[in-house]
Structure 1
């Protein structure tokens, strides 16, 4: 698990806390058949609510099943398979570690 540190060395500075959250990346960069954990979704509130209704919410295990023509993909989440386009894949951020 990758770690990043934004330590400034100044006592009391909130930036001096070690950040132990896993580094996240977009679902578009995920490898086929590798399970990841959804960390966050970008986009407007309506889109995030729709994704959550489909099971794509923070902490959900997600597996990229196959890539489609045009940069999209089919993902597996909560026992369902969902087709997503390229922009949606880029707006979903995943991690291999535990959700902070």
Structure 2
């Protein structure tokens, strides 16, 4: 004869216990994977933030360099304009002096 009802019950209970153990292990693995995923996302986001901050610092350095060059060019332009004005005034005085001299000679 086959197993009795109590043996069948014990066998089914054993199967249910194995299934419960496997399900609990699968849930633990799922939670671990989800936790790893969260950590990986945070790490990835942190890396993206660091990369963006580095790029922003590089752009700020470029901007600072550009502003220095622009300030220098502006100062050179003011000097050139001043020199041009001085030379123009000198030219005008020379021209007026020559006109007066020509008038004296005539």
Q: If the length of structure 2 is used for normalisation, what is the TM-score?
A: 0.16
Higher relative strand content = 1
Q: Which has the higher contact order (CA 8 A, sep 6+)?
A: 1
Query: Max radius of gyration: which structure?
Result: 2
TM-score by length of 1: 0.17
